[in-house]
Every structure is written in structure tokens, then in C-alpha cells.
Amino acid sequence: MRRRDFITIIAGVAAWPVVARAQQAAALTRIGYFGPNRVQAQVAALGFQAFRDQLTALGRSDGVNFIVEEKALDDPRGPSVAATELIQWRPDVVVIAGPEIGLQTVLATKYSGPIILIAINFDPIVHGYVKSLSHPGGNVTGVAFQQLALAQKQVEILKQAFPDRTRLAALFDGQSADQFAAAEQAAKSLGMQIQPLKLDNPPYDFDAAFRSVSASSAQIAIVLSSPLFAPQSAKIVELATARRLPTMFIFGNYVEAGGLMSYGVDFPRMFQRAADYVDKLRNGEKPADLPIEQADKFEFIINLKTAKEIGVELPTGILLLGAAAATWTDAARAQRQALPVVGLLHGASQEKFAANVAAFKQGLSQTGFVDGKNVTIEYRWANGQYDQLPALAADLVRRQVAVIATPGNAPAALAAKAATTTIPIVFGVGENPVTMGLATSLAKPGGNATGFNFFANEIDAKRLGLMHELLPKAKRFAVLVNPKNTISAENTSSAIKDAAHDLSLETLYFKASTPAEIDAAFADFARERVNALFIAPDGFYTSRGAQFATLAVRDRLPATCFAREMAEAGVLMSYSTSLADMFRQVGIYTGSVLKGTKPADLPILQATKFDFVINLQTARSLGVDVPPMLLARADEVIE
């Protein structure tokens, strides 16, 4: 079947990319994992578990559609032996966690397949592994975090916590020597004296190191980050506590073991993002096109029991800093776990909806709920793979979340509705929620679901009319739909068929559900000599705004889209409700449900705000003259 076959038969067979793995959802992905020995290092174990749990949350099953082979970076035979054995296993993708030596060793094997980094304390750009963070090129991508800046921040926190103490001991080894240089610079700028204590020849003698700390009359200490230090958290706690010495370490498990404080990156989150990238690669995306993310979530943890035990009183500012981080030990952690949990389920990717997620949080805050303070938000993103939504929804149900929010994504709303009849659901959909089976009526939804409706069908007809005004000579329109978003595809077809007939336009229908299929669709547009492109409303399409814009300008093809975010990315024109406002309204209703209001008693809201956006810069690139009257009607003109 060709991609342009009529929409009424798209539910039968989708046009898939050439990549074989995309044809079989159950294809087994062989994942090679190369990182610190997780038997010896608790942090590595927690990270690896977070990696596997995230794969499960994404609908992957160990032994069914993925299998992991582990090799230790700190293998006693040497990392080269371990890396060689791993590559001989012939993995489809290699995940490398830790310092640069891991990547260097794998590359030395001449492995050329996809690599996902969990890069700690080295810059992939400076060292020539990628071209840029946003467009890595080549076969390497992932997440990265710079320990040098973190070491400086740790020194600053220690100074804030103990303003009268000026003698700082710093424990480090060969793998953390550059961190010591950064910490030394920070200490000098704060008027502190720093005592370097380098540990050599593992296994390290921490007893001797702390005797040297005592001999130096240090008043506070920092243990810099090294994979060889991580397994010794309990030992470091014992030695620091015995000397009543306030000590900072990077790892949260150090505080849980009785250490005073830690400040560091959320390591499990980095491993989760690596799993997300494995999922993206399995779905056909390429490492060269996946931006390297920088760690953006950090934890500051204080053990107040230890503070009392060693006889220190911490300033209010430090306690407030810890409170803001929402990361305390013991009772406070239990309190955080007891917070109500909102599950946000969506078919697209988190990276492309960050601003809208912020609007959702704003709506929650308008009802008195703040993420991390009195509510917890857990996200489940399908990254354009709508067939994963049922598993993601089921996972939220197993998690026993208080509310499931599905703003702006009909497939997510239907998946949530199919997964539970008891957990409240707050949706945002463009289609009629009554005919979708989400509610019995707009005024009295009944059941467990309510939300927001933004009239996608009516907007489709209006949008085609606006495009006709802009391009009165264009008579042959391509209509692109996502076959995995069946409801949107069918409704768009119905709305466009009638509107096109009234405007005497010819419409040709095409399908795409992956980035590769979008590329292929543009080749078909050129072959069919269409004059303009109508992009159906779809969450995955919204997340691919930059791809659509680039291809449309390249092929000089005027395009109209549903979401203003796509126009901001470079698509010629958009007309729709405000997605940010819709996310905010869903947040408000979610807060109302958390306060006890039943979804059945909350009428379904209807959109009242619509945005007409013209990208004038794109118009100039395409050689399109926008009539002054049309410009005057636009809510926003992007120059």
C-alpha cells in the first residue's frame, strides 16, 4: 500500500520505515552496559536499577524485547579486556556510564554502533567525541554532567554552612585531581585554606588519610567524586563521625549511611534518561540527531541527626536550602513518599513540551499544589510511540497515582480510560469527548474522567480556509496524518474533505508516524507535485516542529500546522487553541480533583482562546507574499 492511500484504510496497515526493528515491536534489542561494578558501588547499582525500571516503564520487557549484558569498568583484568568481551557479544547499542576512560576503551575496540553516554566529568565536545550538544553527529549521544562546577558548589555550601571555619581538607585521587583544582580555586576565592590529601594505590587507606586530616587541624572536609570512593561511604562516615568533622560528599547514600551532608546530581535520573535514549534509538531515531542533555536536577541532603551527634548547628539559610531541594533523610523522605502522586501521560516527548509542562504546574499551583512540596508528578512519555501508551497507563495504575492527567493527547486519554475506571482522569482532547467514550455529556461527564475540549475538527476547517486565503492559487494540498493517532486521523479526514470541497481544492492523503516516515513523506509530496501541506493535529507532530520546518523550507512547500509551537519552530502558519492554556486548565482541574472534587461533577471545559500565528521569516524564505489583511488578523507575526 502506498503512503497516499485514502485515510479510511489507514487503520489497516501503516507505512513503516525500512528499518527492520520498527516492523516488529517485539524485536530483541541487545544492550551492552559498561560502567562501575554495581556489586561494589551502591550508586552504580541504584543507577543501573533505575535504567532497567525506566525501560520497563516504557513498555520494554527484559528477555522479551531487550536483553542486557554487563561488563565492569573496574574489572580487575583491566577495562580493555572487559570492553573487548562486551563488543564481542555484538550489542545493538552500548551504554557507557562513568568517566572518560569507559568511552575511550570502547572506541578502542573499533565499535561503530550507537553509544549512549552517562558522561561524568568530561566534556564530549572538548574531547572531540561529538560536534555539538544539540547535534552530536556520529554515533555518540546521551547525558552529561560536569563535576568541576559541582565541586566548586560543594565548597561554597560548606562555607555557607560553616562561615567561621577556614581550614578545609580535600580528599581526592587520580580520577578526581581536576576536581581538586576546581575546589582549590573556589576555596581561595572564599578566603579558605585547603589541605590536599591525595589517595594513591587502591584499595585506598582511608584510616591513614583521616589521620592526616586530623594532623592538618582541618575544621571541615570534602570528599571529591571518584568511582573508587563510592563503595567506601560507610567507612568515610565512621572516620568523619569519630573525629566530629563536618564532611561533604557527592553521593546521597553517604548521608543515608550517617554522613552529615551531600550535594550532587540525581544519578538515577541520568540513568533513566539513558534508558529513554535507548528507547528512541529502538524506535528509529539516530544518535547524530539526539541532543546530549546536561544534568539539571541536583540534590542537597542534610542528616540532622548526624549534625546533632557531632555537635554542629547549621545556619537557617542552609536548612532552607535543604528544604528547597525537597531532599531530606528519614522522616522527611517518608513524608515525601506520602505525597499524592499525579501521573502525567502523553504520547510525545518531554523535551518538546517543557513549556507546556510548566503551564500544567502553574495550573496546579493556582489550586495550591506545588511539585515536590505537597504533590509529586510522575511523567510517562511515549516519545511518539502511541502503541506504548497502554503499558505506560497500566504502570501508573499499578503505581496507584491519585490522578492521571492527559493534556493534549487523545490516544493517551483513551489509554488511561481503558486502564482504569476508578482513578480520576483529567484530559485535554481536540475531538468530541462524548463520542470518544470519555464522558456521557459535556455538562455532566459521569464516570471518572473530565477535562478540556478544544474543537480540533472545527479548527481544521478554519485552518484550511486561512491557508487558502494565503495561497489562493494553490489547488493541490497534501494532508499528513499520524496513523497511530486513529481518532485524529479520521476526524481530520472528515473535516478536510468537506472544507476542501467547498473551496474547490484537491487533497491527497499521506501517513507518517516516525521521524524517518516524515522524511519519506516529503519525498512523496515532491513526487506528487503538491502546492501546500496541511499537517494534522497530533502530539508527536508538535514535537517534530523543527523537522517539519526544515523540510518545508528545503522543498519550498508552504505548510500549516495546529500548534503555535510548530510555527515558532519555523512552519509557515498555525491556527489553534493555546496549548499552554489548555495544559494550565488541565492542571487546575487536576488540583480540584486532588482536593476531593469528583470528575463526574466537573463539566468539561471548552476552548475560548485561539491563536493565529504567521511566521513571516518563513514566508520570505518560501517566497510567499502575505496579504496585509491577513497579517492584520494574525494574533502573532514572527519576524
Same-domain pairing of 339 and 451: yes
**How far apart (Å, rounded) are the C-alpha atoms in residues 338 and 602?**
26
Helix/strand/coil for 67:
strand
**With b meaning 16 or more CB within 10 Å and e meaning fewer, what string describes 593-618?**
bbeeeebeebebbebeebbbbbbeeb
Whole-model pTM? 0.51
Decide if 5 is inside a domain: no
Same-domain pairing of 413 and 548: no
Q: What's the confidence (pLDDT) of residue 477?
A: 97
Contact 262, 300 (CB under 8 A): yes
Same-domain pairing of 596 and 450: yes
Contact 590, 364 (CB under 8 A): yes
Decide if 567 is inside a domain: yes
Q: What's the confidence (pLDDT) of residue 14?
A: 32
**With b meaning 16 or more CB within 10 Å and e meaning fewer, what string describes 271-283?**
bbbbbbbbbbbbb
With cell 592526616, the residue in question is 212
Same-domain pairing of 357 and 256: no
The 10s digit of each residue's pLDDT in 212-261 is: 999 999 999 999 988 778 778 889 999 999 999 999 998 877 888 899 99
Decide if 1 is inside a domain: no
Same-domain pairing of 288 and 375: no
Same-domain pairing of 517 and 558: yes
Count of structural domains, the chain: 4
Helix/strand/coil for 262:
strand
Q: How far apart are the first and last CA of the chain?
A: 41
Structural domain boundaries enclosing 186:
148-264+298-331
Decide if 431 is inside a domain: yes
Q: How many CB atoms are located within 10 Å of the residue 628 CB?
A: 8
Same-domain pairing of 120 and 22: yes
Contact 636, 613 (CB under 8 A): yes
Same-domain pairing of 474 and 565: yes
Same-domain pairing of 596 and 489: no
Which regions in the chain score pLDDT beneath 70? 1-27, 38-43, 121, 126, 146, 296-297, 320-338, 351
> Which ranges in 503-615 belong to alpha helices (H)?
515-528, 539-543, 545-554, 564-569, 579-594
Q: What's the confidence (pLDDT) of residue 320?
A: 64
Residue 343 sits in a domain whose CATH number is 3.40.50.2300
Contact 204, 173 (CB under 8 A): yes
Same-domain pairing of 85 and 107: yes
Q: What's the confidence (pLDDT) of residue 455?
A: 80
Residue 581 has phi, psi (to 5 degrees) of -65, -40
With cell 576512560, the residue in question is 101
Contact 60, 277 (CB under 8 A): no
- Which one, of 341, 492, 348, 493, lies nearest residue 407 by Cα? 348
Same-domain pairing of 258 and 273: no
